[in-house]
Amino acid sequence: MEIEHLKEQYETLVSDYQKAVVRLNANQERIEEAVQKIIDLTETVKERVEKQLRYDVEDLEKEEMQLEAELANGSSEGRTRSFPQLIIGSRIIEKTDEKDVQARRKVLFGDLARPSSVHILRNSSEDSTEGPPSNEALAEGWNVSPKEIECDKKTKLGNGAFGDVFKGKLRGKEVAIKKLSFQQFDQETLSEFTKEVGVMTKLRHPNVILFMGACTAPGNLAMITELMPRGSVYDLLQNKEAKISFQQRLSFAKDTVMGMNWLHCCNPPILHLDLKTHNLLIDENYIVKVADFGLSRVKSQNVAKGKAGSPVYMAPEMLLDLGYDEKADIYSFGIVLWELYTQEEPYKDKFKSFDDLVEAVTKKGKRPDVPDVCPPKLKTLIQQCWNPSPAIRPPFARILKENILDHLIIESHISERNEMGRRLWSENFLEQTTVPANKFLPAFYKTIGVQMTGDQEDIFIQCLKILIVKKDKSGGDSVSLEDFSKMLEWFGPLELGSGILQRIEAGLRFKGFFGEIETSDAEKLLNGKKKGTYLIRFSTRDPGCYAITVLTKLGALKHYRISHKAGQPYIVGTNEHSSLEALVKAHKKELYLKYPHVGSKYEAMFNDHDKHLEREGYGDPSR
């Protein structure tokens, strides 16, 4: 029995030992696996650190090259720049204290500062299974030989991304040539240049600069676009001699929205990231086109970070190094819109340093001051665009859909005194500033409730045509919002019935009336005429007002301003009159108005019309 008991104990011990060995082996395997993971992780971390160090070294080498180039050119900026800050043109990339960033994020965005709440974009340098074709593929077919480019380095047009822009010629065509500021590149810089080419080859829109080619030959890297002869919106706004009307500036804003909406509606969306008045160029017809995509990003699936753009136009999320999306461009547009209205530079002399700007914009919510006289609709749009929360900023597509700028353009042209005129244009031609005459005239008659005759000899129709119908570029008859608004101020207000038509006919029939002619032309017409000869014309400065030009008793030419607005009296000095006829009669002796000048185009029109009526047997043509 004792032997059997010992045998059982032995077998139990052996079994326990075997189990212990199995557990020991299993633990050893886990230990070995853990050790291997540590080794693998160490290698991965080492590779990542080495890779990051290589990137840092490359960045420093590029900075050193740029500093050397600037020092060689005598640039004071290059001598004073520090390595923690990289400036490319007007773009700033600056290291920021992480604790400060996190604090600002919390103040500005609260919970939105969490990564899960940020819109996801992909850096253009990362791999993508979707999105646009490769930059190399896009650039292919647009390559231009250096021998084909004639660059006039004496005619510098401005600064672009990574380089300067000069006037030049390509295959006999005047163009703008963007040459990189230095021509010794690593692969990353070359990729950035090719990326800009790739972005621009995709774009075809009337409000986006036309890309015409690129040169990728070493030492001659350049990009060629259409030439915009009137320069940038910034230059025009800063030119104090250039008088740009509020209506024209609103038109610039509408053009910008059209161009930017095209970029954002691309698939995938194209972000500009450096939208400012410097990058809004003007063609010969004062059409604005969005330019300079050196810092564009193509939206995809991962977060896009890193500062890009010009600081005063940069959205808070970009200043704080947060993820950003299309709404960053909306913020920039808010600053642009403010600049277009005020014709001033944003934050001029307000901040001593970049850090001061970041602190004010992101923590204190500082924005440029909007004047109290700013139209409420415009003020609301500006404030929505630069709202600290990206979600509140209206997309360009919504700005277009809601016709915010279209209504502002109409209201800036047509005064409140002509509310019916505003309604006519907004209900029929909201998104247009010029319309075919054969569409305008029926809408005009319908609005005032008068039956439009099909008779082309109708004097009312003839008066409207001679007053506001002009030839467009295609040779067709058209009516512009500007001319319509002037007519309303001279002969309005627009109201139900034929009252405005009768006032127009009476005004154009008035003896000595020459309408819309320049002051110099009026002087030429009266030069050499009898003393006391005079003519009446529209004021060239203020719609609604008139002027009398007269050859005085002493033989000198004098001009007298007649103040007037729709539905209001005609005023010379302090004297008010109900009509031009009453005004001339009252001041005939005082102003030496003896002989109304003859030969106006209106006089010829009425003579032909009256003769036609006589031939038709209507007798006295007077109404």
Do 534 and 551 touch, CB atoms closer than 8 A?
yes
The token duo for 171 is: 């295959």
Element (H, E) at 23: helix 2-72
State in Å, rounded, how far the first CA of the chain is from the last one: 147
Tokens at 154, concatenated:
């004496």
Closest C-alpha among 340, 268, 347 to residue 314: 347
Please name the residue that has the structure tokens 């067709």. Answer: 476
The 10 Å CB-count burial string (b at 16+, else e) for 33-59 is eeeeeeeeeeeeeeeeeeeeeeeeeee
Distances (CA, A) of 597 to 213, 547, 562, 573: 58, 14, 18, 23
- C-alpha distance from residue 354 to each of 161, 351, 361 (Å): 20, 7, 11
The single-letter DSSP state of residue 575 is E
Q: Which of 100, 186, 274, 455 is catalytic?
A: 274
Contact 464, 441 (CB under 8 A): yes
179 labeled part of a ligand binding site: yes
Cα distance between residue 404 and residue 383, in whole Å: 14
Give the length of the chain.
623
Between CA 192 and CA 209 the distance in angstroms is 19
Q: Which two tokens stand for residue 455?
A: 């008779």
Instruction: Report the C-alpha gap between 601 and 398 in whole angstroms.
Output: 46
Q: Is 351 exposed, middle or buried (0-12, 13-18, 19+ CB in 10 A)?
A: middle
With CA atoms as reference, report the closest residue to 302 among 115, 116, 121: 121
Q: How far apart are CA 166 and CA 176, in angstroms?
A: 6
Residues 6+ apart with CB under 8 A from 94: 84, 85, 86, 307, 354
CA atoms in the 13 A half-sphere facing the CB of 48: 6
CB atoms within 10 A of CB 290: 24
Centre a 10 Å sphere on the Cβ of residue 600 and count the other Cβ atoms it contains.
22
State yes or no: is 477 an active-site residue. Answer: no
- Residues annotated within the binding site for ATP are 179
Annotated binding site: 179
Q: Which residues are catalytic?
A: 274
